[in-house]
Amino acid sequence: MIIRKFEERDLEQVKAICFSAFSLTAFHNDPVFTAEQAGALIWELYARPAVTNSRNYCLVCEDNSEVQGFIVYGSYGELAKLPGRRTASIVLLAVKKEQQNSGKKIGHTLVYNCLSLFRKNDVKLVSVGTDLNNLAAQKIYSSTEFYPALYWSTWRFHSGPSVFPETTTIQAIFGVPEEVTKKNGARLVSFLEDPFFSDAEKQKIREWYLRPKESSDMMPLEVMSSGKSAGFVLLEKEKTVSDLTGRQVFRIDGVYGPDPSAERTLVEGALKHCSTLAKEFTVEMFLRSDDWRGAKTLGGLGFSLVHNSVTLHCRL
């Protein structure tokens, strides 16, 4: 069994593993997507960019001249430089279905090798997200000293015969207002939860995530309720997911109201806006798993909880 860098000839085998190895992800868990679509999304969103256009990198485990598993990893590039301490991530880990839990410890071996590469490159913090009920993956990560930094959930709204309030109107705005950038709760980012980073570093990280992006599908919106501003919503079109499934999929990336009671109006405003963009659509939103108030709001608006995740960190 050898671990080596991905080569062109591995492409079809890595792709096949993407389509067959996974079963617990937020796409596999949601009945709106077929298993085929879920596999295709894993490939298109996470593995293909690493093996075809050198965004991220890939190591494979080869045994008997076949790829038995792979790991996709990356550095946070610009973000990694901000705190002055290098950060990196494990983007995807998968072992061929027949080789999972085989006693060969392929998953462990891929993670060890990836961490040792990170160490050589002076990485100080590694993050990885995984399904909360993925006990095999968590066993591997806990044995390599990863610790939970953030528990979070994916909620999805699939359009139906909803009626959105007439009193709510939406206007697109240019860029993210300063009050949003400064707000503490901005975006669900595990780095903002980890005491590894100082408050000053966290502020830089927050600003980095909210920076205007040239080629982004991010739509910052202001929601007006009865003629008054209720706050802002960052809405993003999930282009790859939409293209691949034929369903228009959006994500609410953050809601920023003067107080938590505005959240319902803001999410409702975002849904209303999506209903003007597409007849049939899906809206996704991530919540901290312990955000009971948010869960009640989303549940009340017809969202369903589709997936629980944990983001783990490891200090090297």
Ligand X SMILES: CC(C)(COP(=O)(O)OP(=O)(O)OC[C@H]1O[C@@H](n2cnc3c(N)ncnc32)[C@H](O)[C@@H]1OP(=O)(O)O)[C@@H](O)C(=O)NCCC(=O)NCCS
Based on CB atoms, which residue is closest to ligand X, 188 or 310? Answer: 310
Query: What does the angle CA 79 – CA 85 – CA 89 come to, to the nearest 5 degrees?
Result: 60
- By CB under 6 A, tell whether 43 contacts ligand X: no
- By CB under 6 A, tell whether 176 contacts ligand X: no
In whole angstroms, how far apart are CA 261 and each of 72, 179, 274? 40, 18, 22
Residues near 142 by beta carbon (within 8 Å), at least 6 away in sequence: none
Q: How far apart (Å, rounded) are the C-alpha atoms in residues 282 and 159?
A: 6
Q: Considering only residues 134-163, where is the footprint of ligand X by CB under 6 A?
A: 134-137, 139-140, 143
By beta carbon distance, the residue nearest ligand X is 107
- By CB under 6 A, tell whether 294 contacts ligand X: no
CB of 129 to ligand X, least distance (A): 7
Q: What are the structure tokens assigned to 69, written together?
A: 């598993």
Q: What are the structure tokens assigned to 235, written together?
A: 């809405």
Nearest CA to 99 among 8, 28, 17, 12? 17
CB of 69 to ligand X, least distance (A): 6
- By CB under 6 A, tell whether 205 contacts ligand X: no
CB of 165 to ligand X, least distance (A): 40
- Please give the size of the binding site for ligand X, defined by CB under 6 A: 21
- By CB under 6 A, tell whether 62 contacts ligand X: no
- By CB under 6 A, tell whether 130 contacts ligand X: yes
Q: What are the structure tokens assigned to 152, written together?
A: 């979070």
CB of 228 to ligand X, least distance (A): 44
Q: How far apart (Å, rounded) are the C-alpha atoms in residues 278 and 280?
A: 6
Based on CB atoms, which residue is closest to ligand X, 35 or 173? Answer: 35
CB of 71 to ligand X, least distance (A): 9
Q: Under a CB-based contact definition with an 8 Å cutoff, are residues 154 and 26 in contact?
A: yes
Based on CB atoms, which residue is closest to ligand X, 75 or 130? Answer: 130
- By CB under 6 A, tell whether 106 contacts ligand X: yes
Q: What are the structure tokens assigned to 310, written together?
A: 């944990």
Q: How far apart (Å, rounded) are the C-alpha atoms in residues 267 and 293?
A: 13
Nearest CA to 176 among 256, 237, 252, 230? 256
Based on CB atoms, which residue is closest to ligand X, 121 or 143? Answer: 143
CB of 314 to ligand X, least distance (A): 14
Contacts with ligand X, residue ranges (CB under 6 A): 21-22, 24, 92-95, 100-101, 105-108, 130, 134-137, 139-140, 143
